[in-house]
Amino acid sequence: MKLFSVDSPLYRFITTFWEIVKLNFFWLLFSLPIVTIGASTTAAFSVGLKMAENHEGYIFKAFWKAFKENWKKAVPVGLLNLLIAYAAYLDFELFEKVEGNPFICLVMGILAIVISVTGFIYAYPLLARYENSIAGTIKNSFEIYTRYIGRSIALTVIVALELAVMLWNMTTVYFAILIGPACVIYTISAGALYIFRDIERKEKEG
């Protein structure tokens, strides 16, 4: 087998890496207004799911198509996700800075993180793959997380480790800017795809 043949592991790695770099660039670009981060993330997951299925195609064409199709539902989901994440940040800040370190702030912060993870880790791939209401999408994310609790916790740990590596020092932060968000999206896409296929298979079997 030739080192740079299209079937070689090295070629597939380089191809995937380059696609992740491009996907990350489009995600950053379309997330710049902040308000559109939900639509940008959903579009990135649409591409990420196709990559996990080994479906080749033009990254921008697929991204832009998904962005246009999902922005009405994805924008509110993204804003709600940001609101809950900000609430968690404020709770931890209050816990650290308020005299006596009020325990309730710590509890509320942890609760906000749990809600954010369970309610949104599958919400974006669900938006990218299925038609549903905003409330139905978030509800399904909760249900999938608890139904596949082992895989979901493992996926959460892997993503947390990826984020920890990205934030390790300034060098890794710069590298994370290049590929970080897209790497996380690809990781979650691969995990979500396995679960989605399992659910679809069970529904067909009745």
Q: What pLDDT is recorded for position 100? A: 77
Q: What pLDDT is recorded for position 189? A: 95
Q: Over the chain, what is the mean pLDDT? A: 90
* Most confident among 5-19, 34-48, 173-187 (mean pLDDT): 34-48
Q: Which residue has the tokens 């749990």?
A: 114
- pLDDT tens digits, residue range 74-94? 999 999 999 999 999 999 998
Q: What pLDDT is recorded for position 27? A: 96
Q: What are the residue ranges spanned by the domains of the chain?
A: 9-205
Q: What percent of the chain has pLDDT over 90?
A: 67
The pTM score is: 0.90
pLDDT interval class at 175 (50, 70, 90): confident
pLDDT of 103 over the 90 cut: no
Q: What pLDDT is recorded for position 5? A: 57
pLDDT interval class at 202 (50, 70, 90): confident
